[in-house]
Structure 1
Amino acid sequence: MIGRLALVGATLAFASPLAAQEAGDDDTTPPSYEGTVFDGDYLSVGAGIAYVPSYDGSDDYVISPLPIVQGSLGGVDINPRPGGVALDFIPDSDGSVDLSLGIAGRLQRNRASQIEDPVVRSLGELDTAIEVGPTAGISFPGVLNPYDSLSFSSDVRWDVAGAHEGMVVAPSVTYFTPLSRGIAASLTVSTNHVDGDYADYYYSVSPADSLVSGLPTFDADGGFKDVGVTLFMGFDLDGDVTNGGLAIAAIAGYSRLLGDFEDTPFTSIRGSADQFLVGVGLGYTY
């Protein structure tokens, strides 16, 4: 379920796009945006809650907490990930294109807790996976205005904790724009491609599982797991994002499970391929 929150870090997402724009030439950067909290080192911390599916494919919903961290320390950008964090080791450029390259890690807790469906719960909780791997991306600032950006990125992660023992490729496209000095919005389209080990661990129903739960047997293969869209709106509480302080965010999203991840009994019989989320958060930047 946490995988649905591809923009959970957007509670603090004013930081990265605006900070990247700060490095622009004097003839393109309005003086009112010079000398902001995002110059040099900064740190944003926050927390929120979200109403999300009990597991990926569930039609039961639960409340989930969302701790968040983002910043830049010593030239290394710290970017939030759903259930984790990514480090970008390439400094933002002064040009028209920004590249990112680093490492990402996250906890995968699908069916590891908060299983509301009694039939799915009868099969027990699964182990928590720790997914780690490279991340890379490219961002084009100033697409429609001086402070917006269009970004393409992808994480490639492997489970190193011995849970699903598989691989996940998670590409996304995000358009970010400020709507005023204190309000920002972003829209992200994302998908997840998983291998057979991941699919089998979370979505197959073995003969033994069938005896316990009464669900029909099912052998899940890897492929594109889902596709989704997420909208974020952020509001700086003093009306000026450039001076840091407190900000509130709201997030809403929809995703659709695909292929075997839609056809598995966990989804087709006990849940739904349509997955929704809503959430709110509070962040502080200094």
Structure 2
Amino acid sequence: MSIRAVVLALSASALIGSAALAADVYTPDTTEVAIVNNADLIIELGAGVSTQPAYEGADDYIVSGFPIVDLQYLSIPGLFDIGSPDEQQGGLRIGPSFRFIDKRNAADYPELLGTLPLDDSYQIGLRAGYEFPVYETLNIEVYGAARYAFNEGEGFVGDAGFDLISRPTPDLEFKLGPRTSFADSDYMDTYFAVKPIEALGSFGGLRAYDTSGGFKSVGVAASARYEFRPDWFLNANAAWDRLVGDAADSPIAEVGSENQFFAGIGLSRRFNFDLF
């Protein structure tokens, strides 16, 4: 079975599994709602595992961990409110945005013969979105995220898009929507450029190539979240990105793949704090 088939099967089983759990529906009682409504800070924390490309533009996949950090609501009396105690109401949401890029070494990937090794890279920044209702059980969220990459792939990266959000029951949530990503010239140069000395070292396998900043990929993402116990959630997600622009034309993508698949599953818990 090809790696794409494995990724798609994992995505489908994760999403279907989360939906199947909805047979045992949990409905918050009035006590819980009262506690949530008195909270000044509502945050969701957790972790999961995902399968993703081994490097930017790769045709090989690895399994790694990822954090779940979601700020649902923050209220500073007399100043501002972000989000809402009731997820159904939507509103403005601002929270952290993270991404980890694994190291890349030609010793592990023969198709990259001649390229210089790249160390791990870390990205940290902010994500902002605004959710508004369309129908009784359908909302739309427009969002954007900007992150700074450091350690190896230094530069600014980000993504933007919108999601259709359905919450057919209080304990079940589905999201689906298009997205795009972008990066500055420094980041693109690190992961998609090929220096003349690298092209020489590849013995004709890679051509020299320069990059510039701009759009990096377009794609679609889907997720499902199920509250199987009060404040405890199962999360499943899947995504497909297609490299565009300088990233798609790069020799790195030519020996790898323009199509990038992601799938993951995780566990998280919601915390409510009365700060004031």
**Structures share a fold, TM > 0.5?**
yes
Partner of 1:35: 33
Q: 2:110 aligns with which of 108, 114, 118?
A: 118
> Structure 1 residue 223 and structure 2 residue 209: aligned?
no
Answering whether residue 37 of structure 2 is matched by residue 48 of structure 1, we say: no
Q: Contact 2:234/2:266 (CA < 8 Å) preserved in 1?
A: yes
Describe the SS at the equivalent of 1:232: strand
Residues 34-91 of structure 1 deviation map (CA, whole Å, 9 limit, x = unaligned):
7166431334322211111111211101111122233468637xxxxxxxxxxxx752
Matches for 1:66-215 after TM superposition, within 5 Å: 66-71=66-71, 75=75, 90-92=81-83, 98-100=91-93, 104=96, 106-109=98-101, 111-112=103-104, 116-120=108-112, 123-131=115-123, 135-140=127-132, 142-145=133-136, 148-159=138-149, 161=150, 163-214=152-203, 215=206
Residues 1:261 and 2:247 are matched in the alignment: yes
Residue 58 in 1 paired to residue 58 in 2? yes
Residue 158 of structure 1: how far off its partner (Å): 3.7
- Distance in 2, matches of 1:233 and 1:113, equals 34
The amino acid across from 1:106 in the alignment is F
1:248 — aligned with what? 234
Shift of 1:274: 0.9
Q: Give the C-alpha shift of residue 33 in structure 1.
A: 9.7
3-state SS, counterpart of residue 208 of structure 1:
helix
The answer to whether the 8 Å contact 2:114/2:199 transfers is: no
What secondary structure sits across from 1:123 in the alignment? Answer: coil
Question: Partner amino acid for 2:184?
Answer: D
Partners of 1:158 and 1:66 in 2: how far apart?
17
Kindly provide the amino acid, as one letter, of the partner of residue 126 in structure 1: L
- What's the offset of the Cα at 1:177? 1.8
Q: Deviations over 1:185-205 (max 9, x none)?
A: 011321112222221111000
- Equivalent residues of 2:74, 2:81 under 8 A apart: no
Checking the alignment, whether the CA contact within 8 Å between 2:103 and 2:121 is kept in structure 1 is: no
Q: 1:282 to 1:35 in 2, by over 3 A?
A: same
Asked whether the equivalents of residues 162 and 178 of structure 2 are also in contact (C-alpha less than 8 Å), the reply is yes
How far is 1:180 from its partner?
2.0
Kindly provide the CA deviation profile for residues 106-150 of structure 1, in whole angstroms up to 9, marking residues without a partner as x. Answer: 35525458985223275343244454556544321x2111x5431
Q: What is the match of residue 3 of structure 1?
A: none
Measured in 2, the distance between the counterparts of 1:153 and 1:135 equals 7
Over 3 Å counting, the alpha-carbon distance change for 1:283 and 1:156 in structure 2 is closer
Matches of 2:116 and 2:34 in 1, distance apart? 50
Task: Provide the C-alpha distance between the structure 1 equivalents of 2:44 and 2:195, rounded to a whole number of angstroms.
Answer: 45
- TM-fit CA distance, 1:93: 6.5
Share of identical aligned residues, percent?
Answer: 28
Match of 1:282 among 262, 267, 273: 267
Q: 1:34 to 1:71 in 2, by over 3 A?
A: same
Helix, strand or coil at the partner of 1:75: strand
Deviation of 1:273 after TM superposition, in Å, equals 0.5
- Residue 167 of structure 1 aligns to a residue whose secondary structure is strand
Q: Give, in whole Å, the separation in 1 of the partners of 2:145 and 2:47.
A: 23
Number of residue-to-residue matches in the alignment: 236
* 1:158-211 Cα deviation digits (max 9, x unpaired): 44x464443224212122221223221011321112222221111000011112
- Normalized per residue, the structure richer in strand is 2
Indicate conservation of the 8 Å contact 2:121/2:153, yes or no. yes
Query: TM-score, normalization: structure 2?
Result: 0.71
Asked whether 1:237 is paired with 2:225, we answer no
- Measure the CA separation in 1 of the matches of 2:90 and 2:227: 27
Give the TM-score taking structure 1 as reference length. Answer: 0.69
Output the CA distance in 1 between the equivalents of 2:65 and 2:228.
22
